[in-house]
Amino acid sequence: MSALTQQEISEFRAAVRGGLARVWPSPRSVGGAGLLSAVWDLAAEQEWTALGSLGELEAALEGMRELGRRACPLPLMDVYVATRLLGDGILDGRLRPVVAIDRGGVSVQNVEAAGAATHVLLLGRDAPLCEIAEVLPTPGLAIPDWADVHLGTESKRVRLDEPAVEEAKTLLRLGLAVRAMAAAEASHELAIEHAKTRHAFGKPIGAFQAVSHRCANGQIDVVAARGLVDEAVRLHDVGDPMWPLASELAVAYAAKAARRVQLGAQHTLAAIGFFEEHDAPWLFRRVQADVLRLGEFPLDAGEPADVLLERGVSLPGLELGEVAERFRAELTSFLDMRGGDLAGDAELSTDLAAAGNIGMEWPPELGGRQASVEELMVLHEELRYRGAEPRVLSTAALIGDAIVRHGTGEQKERLLPLIAAGRLPFYLGYSEPEVGSDLANLRTRAVRDGDDWIVNGQKLWGTGAEQAGYCWLAARTDAAAEPPHAGITVFLFPVPRPGWELQEHVGLSGEVSCTTFFDDVRVPDTARVGEVGGGWKVITGALAGERVVMGGIAAQVHRRLDDLLAELRLDPDRAGPRGSAVRARSTELAARLQAARILVNHGVRATAAGGGKRLEAPMAKIVAAEVYEDLCEAALDILGPRAALSAGTAGGTFEHGARISIKSVVGGGTNDIQRNLIARELGLPR
């Protein structure tokens, strides 16, 4: 457990940054062994080398981050590991160890920072610490060069058990992944600044969506990788046995993301980022070298897919705070009693309503218990993981929430009890023939007529409209309003009614959505939710809720991953041996899914704090929806044609998932629109 406070860790980070600014001022400071020795002096002087003896992993990783940002390969994590294994003998900085795997023989290859080091600690059951007798630089991608090192006199030897060796390798791998990611992040930041200032074709290049979406993708990778690392550190610090798996999920994600982010930045920087006067080429070398050196420390446990398959575990659990986790424990015991799969549980909605779970987020005077967003998320997660997607829940999250915030007293009194009892089936009337993403330009008109409004127009893709008792309609009440979204008003009214008709469409997922026609449909003003012309606020508030609900899709994908793993455990030939393409694909999906789950939690926390609409929730939605598509497709490839049958492998869940997952990308604001939001938050121009 870390003894340092967050304040102390950020002070440490600032000290490392300040120190490096003097000794290794930029990623271009590749002055070879001499300069690296100066950084090592600094590390000893400022006691970065003491972090191992204190067990301050988070601070050590902060140090690695600062080093990565400057493309400086000080082997701080090697020092951390060596200190933990050898004891305090190396604190004064005179003994400068790097760590390598003991493969026998008198030399070690691909050693980093060898010119500045004094010793090599060879990891194994019997771990010798050997002096470095000779350094033969091996010029290439890495600068300063890696080296082949001839080992000299043995100064010390420690006996290590298997878990200690495995832990050491896990830490070294995490350190390398963090440093690679930090180097890529530094390039990414340079690319964003470049995108704001560089002009082409008369505008800043950041106004081109090819560039802005690349930046948004880079940002998602940076935040996701960071979230995965933080989660690994959290589990490490509380001594959770799942921490090595959490760490390897972070490594698996970062190893790919660091390269992706770096290349994205290189592409945005284009020529200027290719030449050595710029930082990017040096950061590129750091990223590649660090990612490649992960291969120097292979784990006996294998990659994440090996752990998941061979140990029969699932992804490490996340946590949403004490109150939410207490609620999770109560809820899961309630749900577990009903059986593992709740998809066909006809009584579920009624029982959830009876237990007060529908609308539990509303204030007590409106029938709720002011449950937090975190608790709401737990409810969605646990139900979705078990295959249930009760519509009453989304009604409460979308419509109920809007009524609580914008409804009149009469509406609250009349409608909220109906929602809480699961008796307000509705459909969403937003999309139109000419309007999808560009909702602000909707055309369905509502014109005031005494105490009523007369609605004319057409709404598309209203899911569940054929069974709905209510329509939640966004209509234009002011054709001249500028900007156009200022002329939109929201109504909630019972259907069917005179002048209202529908036409059904069967979707790829088998779900029915309807076109609904409004021909002089009369709606009372009491059906209006919010101000006249104030509909945008009502809609966008609900859309933010929708994004968090959509983010809960990660729980559904989690279930699909567990289903896939279960199938592979039953048929090991399909998974193939360690190192197989199927295992590699499973590892990548597991890491992306864990990233999605962490981003969902970020989104939930940001929403709880009153924000998150433009950065955290979009990131969660993008990653969760895209990993859903990819996971189902992968499952079909891996499990073969029978998985494409509706009663085939795992009851057809993968083929159905492949069909329905597209909805997650398109609905709730397409992922392109979400990327636009992120780009705006990064300060890129429209």
Write out the residues near ligand FAD by the rule CB under 6 A.
209, 427-431, 436-437, 461-463, 507, 513, 663, 666-667, 670, 672-673, 676
How far apart (Å, rounded) are the C-alpha atoms in residues 197 and 244? Answer: 42
Which has the closest alpha carbon to 66: 53, 77, 55, 54? 77
Q: Between residues 113 and 623, which has the closer beta carbon with respect to ligand FAD? A: 623
Q: Between residues 463 and 556, which has the closer beta carbon with respect to ligand FAD? A: 463
How far apart (Å, rounded) are the C-alpha atoms in residues 257 and 429? Answer: 39
DSSP-derived secondary structure for 571-596 = -HHHH-STT-HHHHHHHHHHHHHHHH
Q: Is the peptide bond before 128 cis (omega within 30 degrees of 0)?
A: no
How far apart (Å, rounded) are the C-alpha atoms in residues 2 and 289? Answer: 30
Q: Least distance in Å: CB of 213 to ligand FAD?
A: 8
Q: Between residues 389 and 672, which has the closer beta carbon with respect to ligand FAD? A: 672
Q: For 298, phi and psi rounded to 5 degrees? A: -65, 140
Q: Least distance in Å: CB of 663 to ligand FAD?
A: 4
Q: Least distance in Å: CB of 467 to ligand FAD?
A: 12
How far apart (Å, rounded) are the C-alpha atoms in residues 102 and 107? Answer: 10
Q: Least distance in Å: CB of 390 to ligand FAD?
A: 16
Q: Between residues 240 and 501, which has the closer beta carbon with respect to ligand FAD? A: 501
Q: Between residues 315 and 523, which has the closer beta carbon with respect to ligand FAD? A: 523
Q: Least distance in Å: CB of 278 to ligand FAD?
A: 30
Q: Least distance in Å: CB of 395 to ligand FAD?
A: 12
SS3 (DSSP) at 404 = helix
DSSP summary character for residue 432: B
Q: Least distance in Å: CB of 438 to ligand FAD?
A: 6
Handedness of CA 541, 543, 549, 551 (dihedral sign): negative
With contact defined as beta carbons under 8 Å apart, do 678 and 668 qualify?
no
Contacts of 666 (CB under 8 A, 6+ apart): none
Contacts of 298 (CB under 8 A, 6+ apart): 101, 169
Q: Between residues 149 and 615, which has the closer beta carbon with respect to ligand FAD? A: 615
Q: Between residues 431 and 556, which has the closer beta carbon with respect to ligand FAD? A: 431
Q: Least distance in Å: CB of 212 to ligand FAD?
A: 9
How far apart (Å, rounded) are the C-alpha atoms in residues 272 and 269? Answer: 6
Query: Do the strands 452-463 and 426-429 form a parallel or antiparallel pair, or are they unpaired?
Result: unpaired
Residues marked active site are found at 546
Q: Between residues 436 and 499, which has the closer beta carbon with respect to ligand FAD? A: 436
Q: Is the peptide bond before 144 cis (omega within 30 degrees of 0)?
A: yes
Handedness of CA 287, 288, 289, 292 (dihedral sign): positive
Q: Between residues 217 and 431, which has the closer beta carbon with respect to ligand FAD? A: 431
Query: Do the strands 119-123 and 107-111 form a parallel or antiparallel pair, or are they unpaired?
Result: unpaired
Number of residues that this document lists for the chain: 686
Q: For 79, phi and psi rounded to 5 degrees? A: -65, -40
Residue nearest to ligand FAD (CB): 436
How far apart (Å, rounded) are the C-alpha atoms in residues 426 and 397? Answer: 13
Radius of gyration, alpha carbons of the chain: 28
Q: Least distance in Å: CB of 471 to ligand FAD?
A: 10
Query: How does 584-604 read in b/e, with b if 16+ C-beta sit within 10 Å?
Result: ebbbbbbbbbbbbbbbbbbbb
Work out the number of other CB atoms within 10 angstroms of the CB of residue 414. 13
Q: Which residue has the tokens 């069909």?
A: 659
Contacts of 581 (CB under 8 A, 6+ apart): none
Token reading at 71: 């493309």
Q: Is the peptide bond before 496 cis (omega within 30 degrees of 0)?
A: yes
Q: Least distance in Å: CB of 93 to ligand FAD?
A: 54
Q: List beta partners, residue 505.
A: 513
Distances (CA, A) of 503 to 430, 474, 655, 667: 16, 19, 27, 20
Q: Least distance in Å: CB of 490 to ligand FAD?
A: 12
How far apart (Å, rounded) are the C-alpha atoms in residues 269 and 649? Answer: 47
Q: Between residues 53 and 670, which has the closer beta carbon with respect to ligand FAD? A: 670
Which helix (H) or strand (E) segment holds residue 100: the answer is strand 97-101
Q: Between residues 463 and 489, which has the closer beta carbon with respect to ligand FAD? A: 463
